[in-house]
Every structure is written in C-alpha cells, then in structure tokens.
Amino acid sequence: MESPTEAADSCVVCSMEPLNITRDIIQRQIKERNTLQFERRYHVIDPFIKRLGLECELEGHSGCVNCLEWNEKGNLLASGSDDQHAILWDPFSCKKLLTMHTGHTANIFTVKFLPHSNDRTLITGAADSKVHVHDLTVKETVHMFGEHTNRVKRIAAAPMWPNTFWSAAEDGTVRQYDLRESSKRSQVLVDLTEYCGQHVEAKCLAINPQNNNYLAVGASGPFVRVYDIRMIHNHRKAAKQNSTPGLHTFCDRYKSVPDGAVQYYVAGTQCSVLMHALRYVYRPQKFGHFYFTSL
C-alpha cells in the first residue's frame, strides 16, 4: 500500500509532467488513485480554457431563437424562433438541413421530437395558442391543435408512449394529445385554474426520464407540482365527487384556506414571509413513493 509520503511525491512528479489528457485518461482507468489526480489536474487549467471558443454559428433564422431540442441520438438539433419557422440542423457540420414553415402566426416557444419517430415528427407550440405536428420528411404540417386559449410555452413527450405528448400553456392548463385518436382533439389533463384561480399560467413541464408516469409542472407560483399520469386521467371527475385525486399540491390540498392566509410570490423578495405562512398550514403529504414539500 502506498504511503502518504509516496503519494505526495507522485503528485509532485505528476504535476511537473507535461499535460497529456489521453495518457491520463488511460491511467485513470488502470489505477484508482489516478482518478483524484485527474480531477485536480483537469478541473480548471489554462490550456483547456484557452481552447474553449465558438465552434460555429448556425445561421438561418430571422428572429430571436426561443427554443432548442436535440434528437434522441444527439446528432440533430431543432430550433424554433420568433420568425415562426422551425429549422433542423446538423450542428457538427454547421449545416442547415431544412426549414419548416410551421403554419404558426406568432412566436414559437417550444419544439420537440416525437420519440421513436425516427426523427420524422417534430412538434411545435407557439404564442398563437396552437400546437402543430410536422412530418419533416415531406415538410408538411399534419396536425393542428387549437384548444389552448393562451400562449403555449412547453411541449413534453415520453418514450414509453410514442404517440402521446403534452403541452403547457399560459391558460393554466396542461393538455394531453394522442395521435392515434380519430378525433385528433386534445384533452385537459390538469386544469390549474380550478384550484389556483383564473390568472394562473402553466409555464413548463417535464417527464421523468426514468419513470415516464411522472409529470412535473411549473406555473406562475413558487411550486413545482408532480403528477402521476396514471392517476389523474379522471382527476376532474374525482374532484367533483370530493374524492382524493391523483395529485397533491399546496393550493389543491388547502383550497378551503381563507383568502389572505397564504400568499404566493413569483420572485424571492418576500420568500421569508411566504415560508412563515406555510409553516402554519402546510403538512407534507405522502404521494406514491415520494414526499412532496414546498420549494
């Protein structure tokens, strides 16, 4: 076993050697003690910093670029812009592969590849309250959904359901889409306005990559809400029957709390006031395998 003195001496010798990242990567795989040395040497060093720079600029949009999305393989990049177009790029060769005329009439805020579509299907959401589905191989918009009543801010998809995706919009709703349905209409999965008032806005959402049953939603408030998709399809019906729905959030759970007992702040300037109020009315609730508390 190497003594502390020998280890220190080896570090001194190592630090005097010229940098050779290929050699050090190999040594890290062979000798466990080289892992720490590797981290120390290559964490922040001048030669690496000097090599950092702009690889290339992808030029093609005529307005602000609001969203980017990699495909599953990581070799294609999609972008959406204020110019109401989506562009497919090969970023490693700095090439524009195609420009998609999306049919939107306002800024595009979100783009998403549909999983298991062989990068053929791209979904866009925009400030015109519309969600469009595009076939990139023929450069056509194949589905247009217009049920939202305010700006669409985020699209999410799950590999477990290759024909299904979700959208979050500033009308306070999260909608679910199933391209296998003949009606080609979306359904409201979560309606935050029923619990948080008419002015609530859904801003973002994300599917858990390890368990696609869990959907996280961010809105105009200081909370992240996590929903079990399996349990909330019948949420609205269950809520009307005063049954326990498949979700537990602060404003959902304590809707009967009198006005003024709790205040919500988007910014953190009065966070201490908010947390002081929460101490008196909030109790963590067990939900599946998780415990959710306020953020």
pLDDT class of 256 with cuts at 50, 70, 90? very low
For Cα atoms 194, 196, 200, give the angle at the middle one, nearest 5 degrees: 105
Average pLDDT rounded to a whole number, residues 42-68: 85
Report if residue 126 sits inside a domain. yes
Asked if residue 272 is part of any domain, the answer here is no
Q: Which two tokens stand for residue 45?
A: 């060093």
Residues 47, 69, single domain; the answer is no
Distance from chain centroid for Cα 289:
22
Higher pLDDT, 17 or 208: 208
CATH assignment of the domain containing 74: 2.130.10.10
Output the six-digit token pair for 157.
């998809």
87-93: average pLDDT: 95
Please tell me what DSSP assigns to residue 99.
E
Angle of CA points 67, 72, 74, to nearest 5°: 75
> What is the model's pTM?
0.68
Average pLDDT rounded to a whole number, residues 7-28: 60
Structural domain harbouring 8: 4-51
Place of tokens 């590999």: 159
Residues 32 and 174 grouped into a single domain? no
> Could you tell me if residue 286 is inside a domain?
no
Kindly indicate the confidence band of residue 233, based on its pLDDT and cuts at 50, 70 and 90.
low
Q: Would you state the pLDDT for residue 240?
A: 57
User: What is the β-pairing status of strands 173-178 and 161-169?
Assistant: antiparallel
pLDDT of residue 13: 40
Name which of 89-103, 131-145, 255-269 the model is least confident about: 255-269
Q: Could you tell me if 167 and 191 lie in one domain?
A: yes
- Distance CA(261)–CA(94), nearest Å, equals 55
Q: In the β-sheet with 214-219, what is the strand arrangement from edge to edge? A: 202-207, 214-219, 224-228
Whether the Cβ atoms of residue 2 and residue 28 lie closer than 8 Å to each other = no
Residue 125 lies in a domain: yes
Is the residue at 56 inside a domain? Answer: no
Specify if 188 maps to a domain: yes
Q: What's the pLDDT score for residue 18?
A: 67
Q: Are residues 136 and 165 in the same domain?
A: yes
Q: How confident is the model at residue 222 (pLDDT cuts 50, 70, 90)?
A: confident
